[in-house]
Amino acid sequence: MPQLEEPTPAVLGDMSPEDFRRHGHEIIDWISDYLAHTERYPVLPPTQPGDVRAALPPTAPAHGEDFAAIFSDVKDIIAPSLTHWNHPSFFAYFAITASAPGIFGELLCAAFNVNQMLWRTAPAATELEGVALDWLRQMLGLPDTFDGLIYDTASVSTLHAIAAARENLNLDIRERGMTGRSDSLPQLRVYTSEQAHSSVEKALILLGLGQHALRKIPTDEAFRMDAAELERAIIEDTNAGALPFCVVATVGTTSTTSIDPVPAIADVCERHNLWLHVDAAYAGSAAVIPEMQSILDGCARADSLVTNPHKWLFTPFDCSILYTRRMDVLRQAFSLIPEYLKTDDTQRVMNGMDYGVQLGRRFRSLKLWMVMRYFGQEGLAARLRDHNRLGQLFTSWIKDAPDWELLAPVPFSTICFRFTPRQHDADDDIATAHLDSLNEQLMHAVNSTGAMFISHTRLHDRFALRLTIGHIRTTETHIEQAWQLLRDHAAHLNQADM
Ligand code: PLP
């Protein structure tokens, strides 16, 4: 039997408004200090696996705790064991920023807690998303034939783009699937470069196309897709009875930030009637710099393009935008409206749930809109331009240092390089293996200082150190310190090696 007696009010309800205000002020004060002095923390914590779990009780408290005790654990247990992505010497993977206006956007998003599944469930959020995407599209110099929507990550945006490309084949796959059909389907094929992000391959796994559906096209000496090879592969596959349907080009590849020749790739796609998706997850943001808009040359001809404001546009994780000229196809691929979600305004409004796998959607445009308003296009461009300047400066140091080698061109602010002390300059396998190991040790050595964090990749089968500049508070001093640390530790390792 349900309990009918009313519980005492003290055991119900949320934190009181007074307490919320008091703790809220404390938290904002703390965040303000954190952002001003992130460098008090090591970028990479000395934490060992299991440390954090061991410091916390194995079960939840039966009775609620005072918020001061909870926040204390955040400061004493959680923060010291985080890798600090908001640290100006975070140079690994792609450096990102949760800027102040973006953090406010996240806070308000949590406070409103709207679910943007339908226009009706979040009218302002739905329309603000349209406004924010339109503003950014104009900043990037993309034509108004592109509409779009926000997902969490580029991996998910690309998954949706390839699903739309498949839907565009009109093979009845949405209804009849790909297996157990009386008319067996040909092998469907997607093309991308050997430098493309693994999210393309994962999308094919998830869409049931399988990894064999992907053909990785070789790249040139600057790690850009070879468009002639692409066309050759498409013709070869078609002649062999396969069905090419989509090409994913990359503007800003993950390892070296190379830019595929999108105009030539668009020509190939048009000739063979293939969907062109552009992965500009990282570098798309650089097109807010007016003199760099040519990085998106040819992208107006793409069917879809993903760019991540959470990577290089100072918007807190997560926020990925899929722009597409084919919203109708995306909708055709995903719209499925059960009775309980039917509304009578579908002809007049955009319902986000019609354009993807998920029903519920976060109000992500708020933080992006706040970031764009607070910094303005010129402010955003100035900051990105400065990152590129710092990237070129670091590149010049590498080029001028006799014991160091640049391993790829630097179109933006990501530098791939390695330490090559003279006694190891032979180009045989033993020397390569030795340099790989030396550089790997160097990476671990500088990272373990906690003063900086870089990552690595492999280029032409050589271990490459990779330093990327993209945090809003990174200055020349930070990269000077990084360069000094690298040289000091390299000298030390080399000495031990002799
Ligand atoms: N595409 C490129 C070019 C990337 O560099 C990355 C991640 O670094 C991704 C896609 C995947 O991004 P996300 O983490 O948003 O899925």
DSSP for 46-97, please give it.
-PPTTHHHHHS-SS--SS---HHHHHHHIIIIIGGGS--TTSTTB-SSS---
CA 350 to centroid of ligand 1, rounded, Å:
27
Distance CA 378, CA 382 (A): 6
pTM of the model: 0.96
252 Cα nearest atom in ligand 1: 3
Distance CA 216, CA 186 (A): 19
Cis peptide before 318 (omega within 30 of 0): yes
User: What is the identity of the amino acid at 381?
Assistant: A
User: 373-497: which CATH topology?
Assistant: Aspartate Aminotransferase, domain 1 (3.90.1150)
> CA dist 338 to 335, 353, 354, 361, 457, Å?
10, 11, 11, 17, 46
Q: Which residue has the tokens 């995903």?
A: 334
> CA dist 352 to 327, 357, 384, 492, Å?
11, 10, 31, 56
Distance CA 451, CA 171 (A): 55
Is residue 95 within 8 Å of residue 313, measured between CB atoms?
no
- Residue 266 has a CB neighbour count (10 Å cut-off) of 23
Taking the domains of the chain in order of start, what are their residue ranges?
16-84, 115-362, 373-497
Those residues of the chain that have pLDDT short of 70 are 1-2, 9-10, 423-427, 498
CA 124 to centroid of ligand 1, rounded, Å:
29
* Residue whose CA lies nearest to ligand 1 atom number 4: 254
Is the CB–ligand 1 distance for residue 413 below 6 Å? no
- Residue of 165, 180, 348 lying closest to 247 (CA atoms): 165
Instruction: Output the six-digit token pair for 20.
Output: 């919320």
Distance CA 283, CA 431 (A): 34
Distance CA 455, CA 323 (A): 30
Q: Looking at residue 160, what is its pLDDT?
A: 98
Q: Which helix (H) or strand (E) holds 448?
A: helix 429-448
Strand partners for 250: 279
Q: Looking at residue 2, what is its pLDDT?
A: 66
- Domain 16-84 shares a fold with domain 373-497: no
Q: Looking at residue 75, what is its pLDDT?
A: 97
Q: Which residue has the tokens 């002809």?
A: 347
CATH number of 115-362: 3.40.640.10
User: 16-84: which CATH topology?
Assistant: dopa decarboxylase, N-terminal domain (1.20.1340)
pLDDT tens readout for residues 57-108? 999 999 999 999 999 999 999 999 999 999 999 999 999 999 999 999 999 9
Q: Looking at residue 430, what is its pLDDT?
A: 76
Q: Looking at residue 424, what is its pLDDT?
A: 61
CA 155 to centroid of ligand 1, rounded, Å:
6
